[in-house]
Amino acid sequence: MIARSKPDPLKSHFAREISPSSVEKREHLRKNPKVDYPFWQQNWFIGLLFLMAMGFFGLALFLVLTFDFDQDSPSSAAASSPSSSSQNVEVTYGTVLKLMHEKTKFRLHSHDVPYGSGSGQQSVTGFPNVDDSNSYWIVRPTHDTSAKQGDTIPNGAIIRLQHMRTRKWLHSHLHASPISGNLEVSCFGGESESDTGDYWRLIIEGSGKTWKQDQRIRLQHVDTGGYLHSHDKKYSRIAGGQQEVCGVREKRADNVWLAAEGVYLPITESK
């Protein structure tokens, strides 16, 4: 008698599982995998473009706010540096520039750090690097004049220099400077706070009648008579590597300056 084998239930189970249709489905999934990625991964390029657009918008907004002058902005301005053609480029009221000390090539500089002696006001130094944003100054007229943005600046004019980053004014008084003991030069006041301690007389060296970028100039403080001055005496702490800026009452080779990098506003045409 031939014994019949009983069907194996385990084999029957796998036979049902591994049916032709299920094999086809697995093969399809293997060849065409579909992963449900998050939205940001599926659209990363669009997100990158959005972030770049926001960055450019923020930069444009910063520039607009930074160059917010008292009067209406002119339609055009000339960016200039000592390496570019500076001949006959007029320095007008509203111009944003750096002043370069002729002898040492350091730029007139300030930052929100007070002097540890003297007046304790915001310090002013000479800075060696060309590309520092704390070396920009806005050329302003005094309150008691009719001069306006875009006007040329004649020899002998009384001007003010406003530090672009902190909005304080280049200032001097009878306090002693930290290193040499000459007249201290500081930054003081603000947009609505300015006095005659911020007044500087423009003196053009040579025969120039109005201030141009390529001209050698001196700035004489009205209240004290001191000339804006610098030398190779450098700070060793806090402002290490930066040199002293002060005022001296004698004309010296160390108190000659040149208009350097900046945005030079065009002359406003009279109507």
State the pLDDT at residue 24.
60
Long-range contacts, stretch 165-170, CB < 8 angstroms, 24+ apart: 165/110, 165/111, 165/112, 165/133, 165/134, 165/136, 166/110, 166/111, 166/112, 166/122, 167/191, 168/110, 168/122, 169/194, 169/198, 170/108, 170/110, 170/124, 170/137, 170/198, 170/200, 170/228
Tell me the average pLDDT across 75-103: 79
Give the confidence band of 1 by pLDDT, cuts at 50, 70, 90.
very low
**Can you give the pLDDT at residue 62?**
54
Predicted confidence at residue 139, as pLDDT, reads 98
pLDDT digits 0-9 by tens, 52-67: 777 766 665 555 444 4
pLDDT at 15 exceeding the cut of 80: no
Higher pLDDT, 177 or 70: 177
Both tokens of 106, joined, read 């350091």
**Sole residue written with tokens 């070396």:** 135
The type of residue at 1 is M
Does the pLDDT at position 32 exceed 80? Answer: no
Distance between CA atoms of 260 and 205, rounded to whole angstroms? 16
- Give the pLDDT mean for 114-130: 94
Residue 223 pLDDT more than 80? yes
pTM score: 0.71
What values do phi and psi take at 85, rounded to 5?
Answer: -70, 110
Distance CA 102, CA 40 (A): 55
Q: Return the SS3 of 137.
A: strand
Q: For residues 255 and 13, which has the higher predicted lDDT (pLDDT)?
A: 255
The SS3 call for residue 143 is coil
Q: Are 228 and 221 in contact (CB under 8 A)?
A: yes
3-state helix, strand, coil in the chain (%, to 5): 20, 35, 45
Question: What CA–CA distance (Å, rounded) separates 194 from 168?
Answer: 9
Length of the chain, please?
A: 271
pLDDT class for 241, splitting at 50, 70, 90?
confident
Return the residue matching tokens 């009067």: 71
Of 144 and 170, more confident:
170
Alpha-carbon distance of 145 to 139, in angstroms, equals 14
What's the mean pLDDT in 151-156?
97
Q: What six digits make up the tokens of 248?
A: 């001296």
**Half-sphere exposure for 147 (CA within 13 Å, toward CB):** 20
Confidence of residue 49 (pLDDT cuts 50, 70, 90): confident
Q: What's the CA gap between 154 and 151, in Å, rounded?
A: 9
Give, in degrees to the nearest 5, the angle at Cα 159 between 153 and 164.
105
Neighbours of 178 (CB within 10 A): 19
Structure token digits, residue 94: 């509203």
For residues 134-142, give the mean pLDDT.
97
